[in-house]
Structure 1
Amino acid sequence: MGVAIAPADPAPTPERTGPGRAHWLRVAREVADDLATDAVAREQAGKDPLAEVAALREAGLLTLLAPVEFGGGGADWATACAVIREIAAADGAIGQLLGCHYFLSWSTRFFSPPGLAARVHLRSAAEQWCWGGGLARQGAPALLTGKPGRQVLDGRQSYATGVLVADRLAVRAVRAGTDEPVAVLVDPAGPGVRVDGDTGGFGQRLAAGGSVEFDAVPVTGDDVLGPLPADEESLSPAAALASPAGRLVSVGLLLGMTEGVLAEVREYSRTGHTPWPPASQVPTPADPQVLGVYGELTVLTRSAAALADQALDAVREGLSAGDDLGFEQCAEISVLVAVAEAAASRAAHESTARALDVLGPRAASARLGLDRFWRNARTHTLHEPAAHRFREVGDYFLNGAHPAFSLPV
């Protein structure tokens, strides 16, 4: 269908001076194992995830993407996406929190001048900031107004991930008079900023989401990270990669939650553990219907994972190409990521719902907390509907239309 297919051999990666991918995956699994031990209790309590962020910080995961020379981990985007997937398998909300942090902190490479990006990376790594907020179009943006000798930010962002625990917020605003969209860095503890945990969602409760209001918030020159694209035509192909690269966060989240629920339900199926009396009818691992469900969900999940790997390789090649990337190649990368996200969304919907069927009535036990996987996945896909990705893929296949530039919510 004209979609870019990953080569048989992975694209070469530049030499690194920081820890490699294997190190970071090992660290992520250790953190994920710790999160999994009390995931049900933490999700049901719904407290702000301060301890969870502290654990990510202590493990070095918050500075994973920062350059080594600035005190960071020096990892690449593919490694960050793999870490998101590992964490999301144990706790989808913390996976979302970390994915948002990675994208916002890393997006300065697309929108900021090199000198400013270096200064921001240096301070973020030194102080181990946790980033929150969001740069996607959501209702009326905040207004950045120039005053004599200063700038101020006014307005409201109705939803942003991580605002209840973030050290810095990256938010979308427009300049007064020109309506030029820009990314602005805000200290949530600064004057004129009011954060409200008013989302009340039934899922992703530990993603620390909420609204934030700005009332004459002082903004310095370095707080304006750079212009955001007003339309696709204003972007070079290299800058437009911010869209498919950002969408890989969603792919990792969905795959992680899918793999997490299947692993947890499989463990119960194998052990026969149940909070119900022995006389209750419980499907057994030898039940043909159980085997069929597991088979179908395994095929869905592995298919989505294979597409995700292709999308990651394609984005990595695009990032390596830099200014040599062409418009058509960028479009093919965007479509391949849309395919991967749609497949991961379908796998998450099917797995988080149907995996419960193989456990029977015991799956409804609040003590097991298996419903959190469905609620987390469904909440995420309400913000990032798969229908949008299907339309993009269909329009490209039928009409050759390039997907629209869109940043993750």
Structure 2
Amino acid sequence: MPKKSADGQSLPPTPVEETPWPRIVRELADDLATDAIARERAGKSPTDEVERLREAGLLDLLTPTRTAGQGSDWRTACAVVREIAAADSSMGELLARHYALAWSTRFFGSADTAGRHEPRVAEEHWLLGGSIDIPAGSPTDLMLAPTGTGYVLGGRRSFAAGVTVADRLILGATCAKTGDLLLVLVDPAHPGVLVEAASERVGQRLAGAGSVDFDNVPVSSADHVLCALPRDEHTTSPFSALAPLALRLLLAHVALGLTEGALTEARDISRTAPPVPAATTMGGAYAERPSDDPYLLLAYGELAIGAHTSATVVEHATQALADAVALGPELSVDHHADVAVLVSAAEAVTGRTAVHTTTRLLELTADADDLDGGTGLDRFWRNARVLTAQTPSSHRLRDIGDHFLNGARPPFTARV
């Protein structure tokens, strides 16, 4: 029996192996990897990189084919993010957040809402930036003041990726009159929108992070208000609560891809390293070929196992999320809790592995004292630090422990 999408449409099976995406993504990743070091050190706005994503068709990957999209599934999207992140984790994060936002009207709205919104996104090949970041029980930083035809948006918000190059911003904001939480679409080219790029970032320099000021930006009810958002966890359905899990899982794929990319690059460096005098080798016996040093082999073996373990945990969580998305509104509270725990495990494992691996590789390649220089491996370490700082693993481990020990369900949230 074919699976159903959230809007009740039949979803034909589209195995990744039967699509052109592996080849397309591999070629794009190779292209990004070629000048990754130079681009990262230059730290320019990723306008050119976004065009590469757009030309490859990756921005429309999750949009249904009937609305001019590519019609792929979540497993494919996660695989794409992972491979792109191995070449450039900033692009991986930017793409991950775009995919999560592209599905926001499906998670929070109706089939009609998605049917009105998705064709515009696909036909214009928009890159989406923003966030649905309204902590439950707290006043929002973005307010909507009612007018005759809709609202005007005011306030300021900071974003981790995408806003300096986004074609449209998707935002969660609060109506000043009623307190309702609304999902709105904003054109960053409007004169009332002022985007300030984040400067002097330690890592993820090309992710397009920044802060945005909104000064009386018109938001029409007909065209720019997408749907209402749940006020708190008590009004959030299990299916809507998949939205933050989808983003968190996508970011776990970014961390995993970053780890795999760092290992591949470091391996090539170690394989071609020049001979080291016997007195300075770690093992003291394999001067002709540093890659034969037993301690170096041991270290790489441990790091490879860490990456393999992370991949297994992430794949398990990815399949669980894909199955939950396919259930749509029929998703139960308990099923959602199981998926949430698996996603938390993926986050915790990939985050810790990324930081440990990239730190250790600097030591193994003698690049630890040559940040922003040398082989360029330092960028993986800096990117891992910034990426994992957004979601401390201790929070996820606490949720996993509470679920395991007490059977507690992770709280619902609409925070994306």
The letter for the 1-side match of 2:250 is V
Q: Structure 1 residues 362, 148: CA separation in 2 closer, same or farther (over 3 Å shift)? A: closer
**d(CA) in 1 for partners of 2:57 and 2:374?**
32
Matched, 1:378 2:375: no
Q: Structure 1 residues 254, 408: CA separation in 2 closer, same or farther (over 3 Å shift)? A: farther
Unaligned runs of 5+ in 2: 1-9, 283-289
Under a length normalisation based on structure 2, what TM-score does the superposition of the two structures give? 0.89
Q: Deviations over 1:250-279 (max 9, x none)?
A: 1111000000000000011112269xx989
Structure 1 SS opposite 2:380: helix
Pick the aligned partner of 2:363 from 352, 357, 360.
357
Which one is further off, 35-44 or 391-400? Answer: 391-400
The RMSD of aligned alpha carbons is: 2.3
Q: Deviations over 1:282-341 (max 9, x none)?
A: 661111211111111111111111011110111111112222221111101100110111
Aligned to 2:78: 81
Structure 1 SS opposite 2:239: helix
Aligned to 1:10: none
Matched, 1:368 2:365: no
The letter for the 2-side match of 1:94 is M
Following TM superposition, by how much is the alpha carbon of 1:217 offset from its aligned partner in structure 2, in angstroms?
0.4
Q: Deviations over 1:52-72 (max 9, x none)?
A: 000000110111111111211
Aligned to 2:174: 174
Aligned to 2:99: 102
The letter for the 1-side match of 2:299 is V
Structure 1 SS opposite 2:258: helix
Pick the aligned partner of 2:305 from 289, 299, 305.
299
Matched, 1:48 2:56: no
Pick the aligned partner of 1:31 from 20, 24, 28.
28
Matched, 1:326 2:311: no
**d(CA) in 1 for partners of 2:48 and 2:278?**
41
Structure 2 SS opposite 1:225: strand
Structure 1 segment 215-230 matched on structure 2, within 5 A: 215-221=215-221, 222-230=223-231
Q: Structure 1 residues 230, 210: CA separation in 2 closer, same or farther (over 3 Å shift)? A: same
**d(CA) in 2 for partners of 1:64 and 1:401?**
35
Matched, 1:341 2:347: yes
Q: Deviations over 1:97-142 (max 9, x none)?
A: 1111111112221112322211211011111101111112378420
**d(CA) in 1 for partners of 2:346 and 2:218?**
41
Q: Structure 1 residues 299, 407: CA separation in 2 closer, same or farther (over 3 Å shift)? A: farther
Q: Structure 1 residues 362, 316: CA separation in 2 closer, same or farther (over 3 Å shift)? A: closer
Q: Structure 1 residues 231, 264: CA separation in 2 closer, same or farther (over 3 Å shift)? A: same
Which one is further off, 132-141 or 252-261? Answer: 132-141
**d(CA) in 2 for partners of 1:294 and 1:219?**
54
Q: Structure 1 residues 17, 119: CA separation in 2 closer, same or farther (over 3 Å shift)? A: farther
Is the Cα contact below 8 Å between 1:18 and 1:73 reproduced in 2? no
Matched, 1:212 2:206: no
The letter for the 2-side match of 1:390 is L
Q: Structure 1 residues 224, 281: CA separation in 2 closer, same or farther (over 3 Å shift)? A: farther
Aligned to 2:287: none
Structure 1 SS opposite 2:292: coil
Q: Structure 1 residues 131, 306: CA separation in 2 closer, same or farther (over 3 Å shift)? A: same
Is the Cα contact below 8 Å between 2:367 and 2:377 reproduced in 1? no
**d(CA) in 2 for partners of 1:350 and 1:160?**
22
**d(CA) in 1 for partners of 2:18 and 2:348?**
26
Is the Cα contact below 8 Å between 2:255 and 2:350 reproduced in 1? yes
**d(CA) in 2 for partners of 1:127 and 1:325?**
32
Q: Structure 1 residues 308, 195: CA separation in 2 closer, same or farther (over 3 Å shift)? A: same
The letter for the 2-side match of 1:85 is R
Is the Cα contact below 8 Å between 2:241 and 2:414 reproduced in 1? no
The letter for the 2-side match of 1:247 is R
Under a length normalisation based on structure 1, what TM-score does the superposition of the two structures give? 0.91
Following TM superposition, by how much is the alpha carbon of 1:407 offset from its aligned partner in structure 2, in angstroms?
5.5
The letter for the 2-side match of 1:296 is E
Matched, 1:247 2:248: yes
Following TM superposition, by how much is the alpha carbon of 1:160 offset from its aligned partner in structure 2, in angstroms?
4.3
Matched, 1:317 2:318: no
Structure 1 segment 189-200 matched on structure 2, within 5 A: 189-200=189-200
Q: Structure 1 residues 160, 224: CA separation in 2 closer, same or farther (over 3 Å shift)? A: farther
Unaligned runs of 5+ in 1: 1-12
Is the Cα contact below 8 Å between 2:281 and 2:293 reproduced in 1? no
Aligned length: 395
**d(CA) in 2 for partners of 1:339 and 1:217?**
40
Aligned to 1:287: 293
Q: Structure 1 residues 291, 317: CA separation in 2 closer, same or farther (over 3 Å shift)? A: same
The letter for the 1-side match of 2:150 is R
Structure 1 SS opposite 2:366: helix
Following TM superposition, by how much is the alpha carbon of 1:363 offset from its aligned partner in structure 2, in angstroms?
7.5
